[in-house]
Structure 1
Amino acid sequence: MKEKRVVITGLGAITPLGNSVEEFWYNAINAKSGAARILKFDPSLFKTQFACEVKGFDPQKYLERNEIRKSDLFTQYALYAATEAFEDSKIDVNSISPFDIGVIWGTGQGGMNTFEEEVKGYIENSNTPRFNPFFVPKLISNMASGMISMKFKLMGINYTTVSACATSNSAIMDAYNYIKFGKAKVFITGGSEAPITEASIGGFNAMRAMSTRNDNPSEASKPFDSERDGFVMGEGAGALVIEDLDHAKKRGAKIYAEIIGASMTADAYHMTATHPEGLGAAKAIELALDEAQINPEEVDYLNTHATSTPVGDLSEIKAITKIYGNAPKNLKISATKSMTGHLLGAAGAIESILCIKAINEGIIPPTINTNTIANEIPKKLNIITKEAITGTVNIAMNNTFGFGGHNAIVIFKKI
């Protein structure tokens, strides 16, 4: 069977930089930081007291009362982003068999807010077991994909991927493969996360994974910088409508880009640390390039995973240089988590959107806060800092890596 070509026809986002794709993109290319003191709870007792929170999101403005009552915040973000993506795609779901449209959605933590609220209520009520009847449905990770399917009456393949911070790239890859091999015509895919909670912040603090620059949150995320001290938590969702190219052409769809390659590997090394030499990540990049049938030098833009941790950033650089050498001619690199923070399971989705927008707009978003590239990073790597740059982007690649040693790479091409 001839493999299908797979394209992106719709985008949706809710991020710390904006509650639409256009607002998100505008602030990203204008080097804005989404970091500030946490407002969701009193963070004064925590080592890290700031995060990149979504601003101005009132679910009552966007969702039905029943959807809100039955859903955790990560699902609400998912529904919001998916709605924008579907509207952007202008797809008439009633003109297609509902079994031809699927949902593959990702989240790393699922209903963390719900879990905390319910357990606190249990303890505060003298251990009386009075749990909300929606406690379990709101908590479980697959509920975002389930509720997206219910909202839009989609009856095709439906499930959730969980691979920590590689999660939404894993979801995009799975959806891509199902369409490529003729198992579906259309997918809504991506990921959402709502991890700015006391338990989540406290847990990552205990691991010493997050920055503690409480005096200057907007400059705390410093990928590749010699003074980087950890990541900044972020939240939100990114959604992509992807479909069979022939199907998209037949309905006259606007096509943003084509997915031409994707891969996953495992480090098989450590629960939380990436392989110090970037072996698994380098192999994932190699496999994605092989599937795309392109040479490394054909990639114009790489959106790195780079979270601003001392170990993680360096291992990714080692993976990149294994493929590209220390002085690639064409590759431009940026780390947009410097602006959005790290959205965990939703990171790959929003960063894929930035890759796709870079292809369409000819603008590469910058890495902010990186003032002095660390000595151990090759100086001839073209890391875009401080300001966005303009230039042709025909092919863009998105790296994601997650706790457990998961590596997921997706490559996009102008069409």
Structure 2
Amino acid sequence: MTEGQFALVLNCGSSSLKFAIVNTDTAENILTGLAECLGADDARIEWKLDGKKQGLSLGADAMHQVAIDQLVKLIHQQDLDTCLSAVGHRVVHGGEQFTQSVLINAEVKATIKEMSKLAPLHNPANLLGIEAAQKSFPHLPQVAVFDTAFHQTMPQQAYLYALPKALYKQHGIRRYGFHGTSHYFVTQQAAKTLNKPVLEVNLITAHLGNGCSVSAVKNGQSVDTSMGLTPLAGLVMGTRSGDVDPGIVMYLNQQLGHSIDEIDKVLNKQSGLLGISEFSNDCRALEEAAAENNPGAQLALEVFSYQLAKFIAAYTVPLGRLDALVFTGGIGENSSFIRQTVLNHLTIFGFELDEQANLAARFGNTGIITRESSPKALVIPTNEELVIAQDAVRISSEEA
């Protein structure tokens, strides 16, 4: 194995566990994998090691501890445990309490549990992963890396809702933002590409995947972002609606008789690209169908791109100067069509697409996709696992 410092990264969902062992010196992934369908009859784990993909069944109703037990067995079999120096956990919601990654102790776990009221689908699952990892790796320091931390530099004018102030003071209802590790990573990389100090760079970063968010980054810090109290707000997403008239919630309840659970399902699971197209939330499938003149696919992509362009235009307001627009995430990194469509909506800012560069900047390739005379638009593949791993190693070293 190559020299370096290694961290195990765990991203625990309600029915899944994504994992990786990362060399923080070289950014190389030694091991990657996913346990999915946890709690169901077909729970299984798959991994990639030395270029080979393998997998096995975890057994019916297997949960996170079973998945981590299998992961530990795999790590032992490959003699990877001796090289690990820390475990890094993705935690979705840190509220206002956490502005950076922290070493996990009893107090930190209690706060993460308290924040579950703001992220009921995510934080409890994150805690399950933490508890399971502490049981399986009691000798390793465990570090929490928060999706919300990067956005804690937002000013009040950006994060407060125009609601009674008591709802914020007593219940913490405000804009928090998410995808923070991704926006942070591409900010650092964009500064290198632009050959500017990170604290002098002004960007709009667009993380586009099944979940989507835009951030305004001024002098290297987040000053606004599209997701809100929850990851439902902002852009059109794969199955999430993004911003809608709040009155729709009352209408669905009072006029159509939908329960709160049914409304939650509509907004989170049945909307976005899936809802408009009526057949898929996968951008690749929609682009293929749109090329064959499927009207639902064409409309979904048009709405997605138009709403994204509107947010990008709005987020120039706090910046004063725009050094670059950055695309990242599965769609942002791979869909030359979406990038072209969005930039065509933003000609008022002088963007001029370089079509060949746009096509070249796909499938893991970084690149500037605009002409030399144009404001810059960049494609930068994100690497959230690397950020989590680096924070885990750094913080565990500082606390040693």
**Same-fold status (TM-score > 0.5):** no
Greater relative CO (CA pairs within 8 A, separation 6+): 1
Q: TM-score, normalised by structure 2?
A: 0.31
Structure with the larger helix share? 2
TM-score by length of 1: 0.30
Q: Which one has the largest radius of gyration?
A: 2
